Chain A
Amino acid sequence: MLAEFSPPGTAPSPTSRYEGLRSEYCLSGHPTLPCNVLKFKSTTIMLDCGLDMTSTLNFLPLPLVQSPRLSNLPGWSLKDGNAFLDKELKECSGHVFVDSVPEFCLPETELIDLSTVDVILISNYHCMMALPYITEHTGFTGTVYATEPTVQIGRLLMEELVNFIERVPKAQSASLWKNKDIQRLLPSPLKDAVEVSTWRRCYTMQEVNSALSKIQLVGYSQKIELFGAVQVTPLSSGYALGSSNWIIQSHYEKVSYVSGSSLLTTHPQPMDQASLKNSDVLILTGLTQIPTANPDSMVGEFCSNLALTVRNGGNVLVPCYPSGVIYDLLECLYQYIDSAGLSSIPFYFISPVANSSLEFSQIFAEWLCHNKQTKVYLPEPPFPHAELIQTNKLKHYPSIHGDFSNDFRQPCVVFTGHPSLRFGDVVHFMELWGKSSLNTVIFTEPDFSYLEALAPYQPLAMKCIYCPIDTRLNFIQVSKLLKEVQPLHVVCPEQYTQPPPAQSHRMDLMVDCQPPAMSYRRAEVLALPFKRRYEKIEIMPELADSLVPMEIKPGISLATVSAVLHTKDNKHVLQPPPRPAQPTGGKKRKRASDDIPDCKVLKPLLSGSIPVDQFVQTLEKHGFSDIKVEDTAKGHIVLLQEAETLIQIEEDSTHIICDDDEVLRVRLRDLVLKFLQKF
């Protein structure tokens, strides 16, 4: 059985299945937001459902408060002065942006028929953002598996996203510019934007709820049987609350799917590495996006820049997701603010899901690192942000409207989304604080290029600090991990098999393993190298009792098995053969064909050799006389002259030639078999 592995997306008709290999669409999938489909033992498994949101960087920001600057941007026209695109495209500080509802780049949906996907395995809440597109619009009828924190926090991320976009209704949905002939004429980066025809606007909350209702909750090390053929198991990956890697295995093959893992000690449960051992194939995704930055020193820089700005009377803006690294940042600040003399500075966390995120983080003790778990035994909340809230140092609001506008004091620190700077409350603060060099924006999320994120806000007076904190595995950790767990084959996105384009001399910034990793790119299909030779079968106890083992060599025993094979739900069972039917009186007239034996009944193979002297003695003992033995080149011929029978005996063969005397033939056969072993 061939196990196939097809990156991004969806099931092809048999003929088109390998078309991807021709790589007509040389498009790179997002290595940290994967969406792969694995065909394994007649099961179709989608691994993650990541949504590439970098597409939104091509759009104008959605301001919460009417922004004269953004609404008065000049329309863009072609070099020849043709201005038919000026409604859709606006020029802003030398860049061209699409003035429309922002759109996301979906996983491929044409490569494979997504309605044939049996299950979707989610590794962490960042890798499920495309779920509603897949479960609601492709005919998908399967089950999605994820841990409880993944689902709860994933729901919050989706809720925030939908809220950010629906809060600022935009009449226009630009589509003219996507025309291939027109796109060619546009300036970079629009010209080079990929797959624009598949870009879609955000889903609705209704679609989110429907998608999430298809999820079944699972726990780490839970063994989940799929159709009796495959077992999948989530393992702790150490990257985020409830984040998992997955083992996909049958009794004789094992695929490990590694996605978004971390070996650093932050808040989640540590990564389970041992269970990844003995894999035939290890699929490696979700490595750090900033391999050259050390998360610890980034956190240090974050704190010192924050303190510096605030002490000088400026405000700090931290564009962030509502869950994840923010918990660690708040914990650092908790330890840092008093010593840095920041205790009077208000910290604001603004997100429609801020409260939920802070509350949820405190109830998932079982998914946290050991230190945090022990707090619960006291009982105390595992995260210190509970105390920051209690002491009024940290305040959270659903949005800048309402209570926040009354409480707002400057200088302050604001944590808010979205990190793309294209929607959410962060747009307001960029507009508000961008003009003063006292203020600082600190980028901690690694998903978006900060320069591109800032482009529509230029020129900018505020300071920009780039401290990307990406706790996912770096290449040194990967090679250590691979040495440790020793998979037979590694499969990874092509980006990991060469140094980053900007640092092409850094040969250390790529996956290094033996045999070399098999790489894939968007819209490509890979055949996975399996050499499966066995399948599990159960021998029923009654049959087992009837077997007669025979020791052939020291420590090795053999037993011939004749049994009936039953296969149900992909499980094989061997049962004792039925007893031979009793001859049923002669009432019914037999047809000639009833007597014809079933040639499919297999007789055992024979092995051994026949010592001719002993054989002759045995013949004599059984009443044969007048035996003559002749030597031949390869053995002997035993002649039973009276019976006109000839037995040729060679090392590996015996040939009995006789008249059509069945009784005689059977007697001779049994005497020969005495010297041979059956297999």
Chain B
Amino acid sequence: MPEIRVTPLGAGQDVGRSCILVSIAGKNVMLDCGMHMGFSDDRRFPDFSYITRSGRLTDFLDCVIISHFHLDHCGALPYFSEMVGYDGPIYMTQPTQAICPILLEDYRKIAVDKKGEANFFTSQMIKDCMKKVVAVHLHQTVQVDDELEIKAYYAGHVLGAAMFQIKVGSESVVYTGDYNMTPDRHLGAAWIDKCRPNLLITESTYATTIRDSKRCRERDFLKKVHETVERGGKVLIPVFALGRAQELCILLETFWERMDLKAPIYFSTGLTEKANHYYKLFIPWTNQKIRKTFVQRNMFEFKHIKAFDRAFADSPGPMVVFATPGMLHAGQSLQIFRKWAGNEKNMVIMPGYCVQGTVGHKILSGQRKLEMEGRQVLEVKMQVEYMSFSAHADAKGIMQLVGQAEPENVLLVHGEAKKMEFLKQKIEQEFRVNCYMPANGETVTLPTSPSIPVGISLGLLKREMAQGLLPDAKKPRLLHGTLIMKDSNFRLVSSEQALKELGLAEHQLRFTCRVHLHDTRKEQEMAMRVYSHLKSVLKDHCVQHLPDGSVTVESILVQAAAHSEDPGTKVLLVSWTYQDEELGSYLTSLLKKGLPQAS
């Protein structure tokens, strides 16, 4: 029995280190290869020994697909390909291909240079890893091999984010990566056609949230930033360099312009400037409005937002700083946070999801005394705000996508178990499909029953189609043919053609039954009466009286003859072939009952 198997190595009932193994029709595909921001030990990467204990990665996997450039989806890639060892193709969209190595390098620097980690991947490994990448265009059907094909769909979320359809024959799986079902200020909404996959693997970060209108959230955000700046406070917005950063920059830029505000807005380090440049070059991946107006004004050329210098953090007066990374787990955002945390005039706004173990997660869950490295305790007096600007689909959006794709089964990843449970029930109720939520290392197996494509000879098909046009289409009509199977080539042809192709002769099987009737009339008259009798009974059949005196019903022949011994008895010879057996046999029994008296 064919089946689809799915095993999350990461992101199973968890957010972080997304990595999902899918086996479909004998092909093995790895979806994403991320790191976990909540850990800095072995648990930060997916457990690839799940594969390697039975062999090499390259032998096992047909391809790797990366959905977008966020590190929890691609952060383990150089480790996976260069340190564990994988030489097969890695597919991603072009913006992802452009931006991913920069984030990986950034990640490497923080881990090695700042935290002093040993045995981490090197810059050269990032480069070597990226050489294995094949760029995929939206909606392009990429033939990984003769049987396995993949296709990318727009996912919103971040620049270049894509959902992927993985297809072998008539079986398919769709993996959403992270996606957003509502367009925002710089990206469009995720979209997929009614591709009816056997399985839809969807993220479920906001499985239980139905977000209020975006406009309210934006107004709230602007109000808080404005108030803090007005009273001379400093606003820290921890962001990842690409994604929400650009969204919030556009938001603040337009607000500053409209309100004619003077407080400086900074964007930390060179990375983000470079990042904005990518956005300018990948305009076709942004939303409709930006694409339409970019010639007049490129939205990613900011007037009010300037590059940040480390020294600015100590300057007096109000300011707004976007700093990386987004979960306050390391780097510049954490440094600034430590400087500003003690002042209640200041504010930190967390615009996205924070995984467990990060400083961001701790302050959002109400912790105000943080133990830092070296047993230092940091008291947080600044205001802490959370604003969901994450570009993930909320519960409504997830349901909407399931409705769009019409999958036979749904599998949830990239979310918290408790919330998944709720969404799972909702999906099962509303769509009447099975919904799964495996933990890491747990395998879900779905039996599939793919139909078998064969070539039908045009002659046979046309014969059937022509008959299908006749009245009485209610009765199911049987098509009869012979399936010729040669290697993997399957052809359905008419029986005659099958015989001919194989060089075989037809063997004709014929029956002739003698029906004895008492009747003294002449043979010719008998035949005439047989003719009129059959004609009246068999209205839908072609009954003919031939010049030689015989009667035919379709291809069945009836002849009247004298009895050799008894002149009072006539013999009707009914003759038919095996192919007409039902009708022949029926005619015999009909004639046996005798002919009606002429009226």
Contacts and interface: CB of A to CB of B under 8 A. Distances in A.
Given A536-B453, A541-B450, A360 B295 contact: yes
Contacts of B518: none
A593 B579 contact: no
B160 to A, nearest CB: 11
A536 B452 CA distance: 10
Interface in B468-513: 468, 475-487, 491-492, 495-496, 498-499, 502, 504-513
Interface stretch (B134-142, B180-188, B249-257, B356-364): B134-142
B480 A363 contact: no
Given A379-B278, A605-B495, A596 B538 contact: yes
A251 interface: yes
B52 interface: no
A590 interface: no
A547 interface: yes
A563 B455 contact: no
A660 B94 CA distance: 80
Contacts of A218: 139
A544 B485 CA distance: 13
A599 B541 contact: yes
Interface string A572-598: 111001100000000000001101111
Contacts of B578: 603, 606, 669
Contacts of A381: 281
B460 to A, nearest CB: 9
Given A366-B94, A558-B485, A560-B482, A544 B451 contact: yes
Contacts of B137: 219-221, 366
Given A251-B455, A534-B455, A563-B479, A679 B467 contact: no
Interface string B96-137: 011000000000000000000000000000000000000101
Contacts of A377: 97-98
A355 B293 CA distance: 12
Contacts of B454: 536-539
Main secondary structure of the interface of B (DSSP, over half): mixed
B457 interface: yes
Contacts of A166: none
A220 B139 CA distance: 8
A653 to B, nearest CB: 4
A605 B504 CA distance: 11
Nearest to B553: A599
Contacts of A573: 451
B508 A606 contact: yes
A364 interface: yes
Interface string B272-299: 0010011011111000000000110000
B456 interface: yes
B461 A363 contact: no
A599 B583 contact: yes
Interface stretch (A20-28, A76-84, A91-99, A549-557): A549-557
A533 B457 CA distance: 6
A560 B480 contact: yes
Contacts of B449: 541-542
B155 to A, nearest CB: 15
Given A251-B455, A556-B486, A654 B507 contact: yes
B554 interface: yes
B507 A607 contact: yes
Interface residues of A, number: 93
Contacts of B458: 532-535
A601 interface: yes
A233 B139 CA distance: 11
A373 interface: yes
A295 B581 CA distance: 76
A365 B277 CA distance: 13
Contacts of A676: 507, 509
B262 to A, nearest CB: 30
A597 B507 contact: no
Interface string A646-672: 000001111111111010010001001
Interface stretch (B69-77, B318-326, B378-386, B586-594): B586-594
Contacts of A669: 509, 511, 578, 581
B314 interface: no
Nearest to A679: B495
Interface residues of B, number: 87
Contacts of B574: 660
B479 A665 contact: no
Nearest to A536: B453
B455 A596 contact: no
B141 A223 contact: yes
Contacts of A600: 467, 477
Contacts of A578: 476
A238 to B, nearest CB: 16
Contacts of A657: 511-514
Nearest to B581: A603
A43 interface: no
B295 A359 contact: yes
Interface in B556-597: 574, 578-583, 585-586, 588-589, 592
Interface string B161-202: 000000000100000000000000000000000000000000
Could you say which of B280, B451, B512 has the most chain A C-beta atoms within 10 Å of its C-beta?
Answer: B451
B452 A605 contact: no
A565 interface: yes
B468 A567 contact: yes
A365 B507 contact: no
A567 B465 contact: yes
B447 to A, nearest CB: 10
Given A535-B455, A599-B541, A605-B495, A556 B485 contact: yes
Could you say which of B480, B499, B582 has the most chain A C-beta atoms within 10 Å of its C-beta?
Answer: B480
8 contacts: A363-B281, A538-B452, A559-B483, A561-B479, A562-B478, A598-B582, A652-B506, A653-B507
Interface of A: 148, 218-223, 233, 251-252, 355-356, 359-360, 362-366, 373, 376-377, 379, 381-382, 532-542, 544, 547, 549, 552-553, 555-565, 567, 572-574, 577-578, 592-593, 595-610, 651-660, 662, 665, 669, 672-673, 676, 679
**8 A-B pairs with least C-beta separation:** A597-B582, A534-B455, A541-B449, A602-B480, A679-B495, A605-B495, A538-B451, A363-B283
